[in-house]
Every structure is written in C-alpha cells, then in structure tokens.
Chain A
Amino acid sequence: EVHLVESGGGLVQPGGSLRLSCAASGFIFSNYDMNWVRQAPGKGLEWVSYISSASTIIHYADSVKGRFTISRDNAENSLFLQMDSLRAEDTAVYFCVRVVTPHSHDINLGYWGQGTLVTVSS
C-alpha cells in the first residue's frame, strides 16, 4: 500500500524558512515523479512544485519560484521542500503527491499524503 507521510510544518515568522519532508513507502520511490500541492485554509488546491523521478526535471509555480526548492533522495525514499523567504500567503496545508504512472510525466496526481500545515505569521 502506498504511504506518503509529510512532516516539518509549523509556525514560522514572515521571512523565515522551513524544510518539509515526505517519507514514502509501499512502492518503488525512484520510479515515480513527485509533486507538492498546497491548500490555504478554506481555499482550493494550488500546485507548488514538481520533480521527476531522477531529479532531472524540476518545475515551480510562479508564486514560489526563487524561494522554494524541491529535492528528493531516492536512496532514502524521501521528498523535500525547502521553503525560504516565507510570506503570509504561503500559509497552507502542504501535500506530498505521487503521480499514477511510473517512468511517465503524466501528472495525474494519484496518491496524496495527509498534509502538513505551514503557518506564516508574526
């Protein structure tokens, strides 16, 4: 069974940094592209970042470009999101998401973690 467990969320002041982690299990992590998707309180879904299975292709939403960095460690079955220069508008639940198909850039978001809450406030 696919399991994705996010951690690292919490309260941070504007301008601060956080590093989110996602521990993956139940599948061959190195075969799948991964994403981060966020959801502000009471709002809809917003895609944040994408990383291909071998980390050769990386994309970001314009809203986080230059401030967030996605990475992965296939040996440790882990996905990361380094978030710097945080703003109030970054407050959201951050979901770690696996695509449906291995070795494919299909971006069908098939498996989601339960999310970790990031609150940016003074």
Chain B
Amino acid sequence: EIVLTQSPATLSLSPGERATLSCRASQSVSSFLAWYQQKPGQAPRLLIYDATNRATGIPARFSGSGSGTDFTLTISSLEPEDFAVYYCQQRSIWPPITFGQGTRLEIK
C-alpha cells in the first residue's frame, strides 16, 4: 500500500499570502496524484488531478507540481474562502486508493 505523507499538518497564513502544501509518497506514483479541498460540513472537492491539471471550475491561483514521490499544491494568493483542509490522493497503484492525512490551512 502506498502511504502519502502531507506536510505541514497545519499551515497558518494570511489572505493574500502564498501557500505551499507538500505531499510525499512512500514509492513512486508517477504523476497519478490528485488534490482535494474540504471545508467544514462539506464534501471534498477535486482541485488538481494527474499532479498538474486543474479540475473544471478551479481558479488559476491553484496549481500543482511534482512527479514520482514529491508533490506540491500551491495557492498563489490566498482568498478567504481558501482556508480549509487539503488532501492528496494517489491512483498509481491500487487498490487501495490512498489519501494523505490532510493539511489544515488556517487564517493567521
């Protein structure tokens, strides 16, 4: 089973700042990595798939990079609605499909 480790666990930033979230895989997942955003009481929303592709309707301030074992989700300039929990997920070797433990992005 591929284990995904996200860092940091919590990130405290202010609106307008740049956010950089990390996801590391226990073995290579090629580019088969996705990112999700989840707000309290809501279902997760797909942001990025296949490491770099924005999902439909996702603003351009969200970008993904990386391949192999190291991946990054970048939010170029934080908007108030971006404060949420973010998860990475791999589909390279499955089952099982696995998720990271999440990064909480909170307002500083």
Contacts and interface: CB of A to CB of B under 8 A. Distances in A.
Contact of A109 (B42, B46, B50, B102): B46
Given A100-B49, A112-B44, A44 B87 contact: yes
B35 to A, nearest CB: 10
B43 A107 contact: no
B83 interface: no
B91 A107 contact: yes
B95 A59 contact: yes
Contact of A100 (B44, B55, B96): B55
A104 B97 CA distance: 15
A71 interface: no
B54 to A, nearest CB: 12
Contacts of A60: 95
Interface in A35-65: 35, 44-47, 50, 59-62
B43 A47 contact: no
A109 B44 contact: yes
Interface of A: 35, 44-47, 50, 59-62, 95, 100, 106-110, 112-115
Given A50-B95, A107-B94, 20 more contacts: A44-B87, A44-B101, A45-B36, A45-B44, A45-B102, A46-B99, A47-B98, A59-B96, A95-B44, A106-B49, A107-B91, A108-B46, A109-B34, A109-B36, A109-B46, A110-B46, A110-B55, A112-B43, A114-B42, A115-B43
Interface of B: 34, 36, 38, 42-46, 49-50, 55, 87, 89, 91, 94-102
